[in-house]
Homo-oligomer: A and B are copies of this chain.
């Protein structure tokens, strides 16, 4: 076993050296430059310090450093509609081209008009028909290629930029900060797992295998040349919202997170599950209270939300009662987007 031991010792030394080096870099610079100095920033920095300082009572060994992040409304803009829903609506013309009989059938008929107000009024059950028709029934490779093409072309109407540029710069910094401190950073999203995996590495530095999301089953089969491929089926395997988030975390990661970030009632159970473990824990909720730079909704306004995840007054009260960290977008963030100056 001499060889294995030497390689292991070598790697251990390198890990130590890299930790020392990273610590050195961080001692000189602010790891969260887009954050104002407030309780939220201090809570994040203190959590990292406590869990990564050997000998600290809150020290967490690297293999147990798991951090989970909701995506929509936590890492990027979710208003006025989830990006993936816009993708599905945008796919309808191509779908109708292949299946012309759909043009005269609801909800496709309404979606084809392009009348956003009418589309927004479609009942959820009708909207689900659009999701099923545009997210399943094709091979996983075809789906990835379609999403990639759409992301390269589609633009958000308000900012006139690709959707993948509408990530929150302060959260990008938190992802990076946790990553260099030995945390596995996972996206745990109600959005489609296959959808987010197309861009997670490029946009967030999170590899596909660290994306947990709502997932449908696939079916293995062979094409006419005998080449195997997987088809996305209209069969829900994991609804990664609410209680589905801790269930999905157990299924896909198998470890309880040490820290979790969310922004809506869909993240409540993930935050509670994270909080219920031993040792140092950090639970964070992002409050959308910045109508100027982004949007104000949820308890910041008292306005009810319809289609997007609600950060309810009850969740806000639970957070406050339990000492969870609430980020005020307006007060805690120096800038919101990477393109802000």
Give the residues in chain B near A251, CB-CB below 8 Å.
Answer: 193, 215, 217-218, 237
Most buried by B among A25, A33, A244: A25
Q: Interface digits, A31-74 against B, CB 8 Å rule (1 contact, 0 not)?
A: 10100000000000000000000000000000100100000000
- Interface residues in A184-225 (C-beta closer than 8 Å to B): 184, 193-194, 197, 201, 207-209, 211, 215, 217-220
A251-286 interface code vs B (CB 8 A; 1 in, 0 out): 111110000000000000100110010000000000
Residues of B contacting A26 in the complex (Cβ-Cβ under 8 angstroms) = 7
A247: chain B residues at CB < 8 Å are 217-220, 230
Of the candidate stretches A14-22, A119-127, A293-301, the one touching chain B is A14-22
- Cα–Cα distance between A140 and B254 once the two chains are bound (Å): 10
Number of A residues near B (Cβ < 8 Å) is 58
Contacts of A29 in B (CB 8 A): 2-3, 6-7
CB distance from A98 to the nearest CB of B (A): 24
With the chains together, A255 CA to B141 CA distance in Å?
A: 10
Q: How far is the CA of A228 from the CA of B269 in the complex (A)?
A: 8
Most B CB atoms within 10 A — which of A14, A17, A194, A229?
A14
Q: Which B residue's beta carbon lies closest to that of A232?
A: B250
* Nearest B-chain residue to A141, judged by Cβ: B256
Assess the B220–A63 pair: CB atoms within 8 A: no
Interface assignment of A4: CB less than 8 Å from any CB of chain B? yes
Shortest Cβ-Cβ A-B pairs, 8 listed:
A208-B254, A220-B243, A3-B29, A14-B18, A197-B254, A209-B253, A228-B272, A218-B247
Can you spell out 22 A-B residue pairs with CB atoms less than 8 angstroms apart?
A: A3-B29, A3-B30, A3-B33, A6-B25, A6-B29, A7-B25, A7-B29, A10-B21, A10-B25, A11-B18, A14-B21, A194-B254, A208-B254, A209-B253, A215-B251, A218-B247, A219-B247, A220-B247, A228-B246, A228-B269, A228-B272, A252-B252
Question: A residues bordering B, Cβ < 8 Å?
Answer: 2-4, 6-7, 10-11, 14, 17-18, 21-22, 25-26, 29-31, 33, 63, 66, 140, 173, 176, 180, 184, 193-194, 197, 201, 207-209, 211, 215, 217-220, 227-230, 237-238, 243-244, 246-247, 250-255, 269, 272-273, 276
